[in-house]
Structure 1
Amino acid sequence: MSQPTLRTLRSPLGRARGMGAAKTGTHHWWMQRVTSVALLPLTLWLVFSLARMPDSTWQQAVSWIGRPFNAVLLLAFLAAAFHHTAAGLQVVIEDYVRGELPRMGAVLAVKGLCALLWLVATLAVLRIAV
């Protein structure tokens, strides 16, 4: 005897939509794009700003960081750069590290290291700027 079939009015795409493995893949992908777009002007600003002061002294560099506009843009650059780095390395780890435990440990180590480095860099900018 055959199994009774369920009839539904939903299409296969409708049933599958939003049902990814962890339901967070779209957010991760979207944040990679947002940080990429944010990093483009911030990186250009930083490169051109630093290129204009090749012979600056330590005091001039500290003075430049201490300006509110520069400090805010530096903090935005740091946040976007470390978030983008952590997310990108997470994808690489998930693609190439075998085994659940090593993969989870590597992702946690990368995220922890990026968070720690972001915190240290942010505190350095704030210490100079405030």
Structure 2
Amino acid sequence: MRYLTDRKRAVGSGSGSEGTHHHWKMMVSSICLAVIAPFFIFTFGAGLGSSFEEVQAFLSRPFVVLVLALGLIVGLNHFRMEIDEAVEDYVHGLAGKLTLIAVSAVTYLLMAVGLFALLKLAI
């Protein structure tokens, strides 16, 4: 039977100070989502089921595009932070690092494609 001290068990487990920073980022992101989500849902719902010309006219208003863009960016960024936390907890080594890179790349790709689609429809 090996005797391990508390310090020896904790070596390599990471710093305790990173969790607080992550918690605050998630709290700020959650509060932003709580404010933006109703605006996003009602704004998106108002244009849902309309014809292409009506959607273009609807998206020509700056407030509508701003609400949809903020909802997209904040929502996907919150999603990325949540997935990063799950990957850090359950996937280790090279696979974990590659998964984090893939999740970030896919999230930023979705943000870029979504913003491009919004701008393309708005202009």
Give the TM-score taking structure 2 as reference length: 0.77
Partner of 1:51: 45
Partner of 1:34: 28
Matched residues, number: 110
Equivalent of 1:95 in 89, 93, 96: 89
Q: What SS does structure 2 have at the residue aligned with 1:128?
A: helix
Pair 1:125-2:121 in alignment? no
Q: What SS does structure 1 have at the residue aligned with 2:50?
A: coil
**Per the alignment, do residues 22 and 63 of structure 1 end up closer, same or farther by CA in structure 2, a change over 3 Å counting?**
farther
Partner of 1:74: 68
Partner of 2:97: 104
Runs (4+) off by over 6 Å: none
Q: Which amino acid aligns with 1:49?
A: T
Q: CA deviation at 1:117?
A: 0.6
Structure number having the greater helix percentage: 2
**C-alpha RMSD of matched pairs (Å):** 1.9
Q: Which amino acid aligns with 1:125?
A: L
Separation of aligned partners in 2, 1:52 and 1:115: 27
Partner of 1:115: 108
Separation of aligned partners in 1, 2:114 and 2:48: 22
Give the TM-score taking structure 1 as reference length: 0.74
Partner of 1:14: none
Separation of aligned partners in 1, 2:48 and 2:97: 43
**Gaps in structure 1 of 5+ consecutive residues:** 1-19
Separation of aligned partners in 2, 1:33 and 1:87: 11
1:5-58 alpha-carbon deviations (Å, 9 max, x no partner): xxxxxxxxxxxxxxx628543332212111111112221112223334554222
**Per the alignment, do residues 54 and 90 of structure 1 end up closer, same or farther by CA in structure 2, a change over 3 Å counting?**
closer
Q: What SS does structure 2 have at the residue aligned with 1:95?
A: helix
**Gaps in structure 2 of 5+ consecutive residues:** 1-13
Q: Percent of counterpart pairs with the same letter?
A: 27
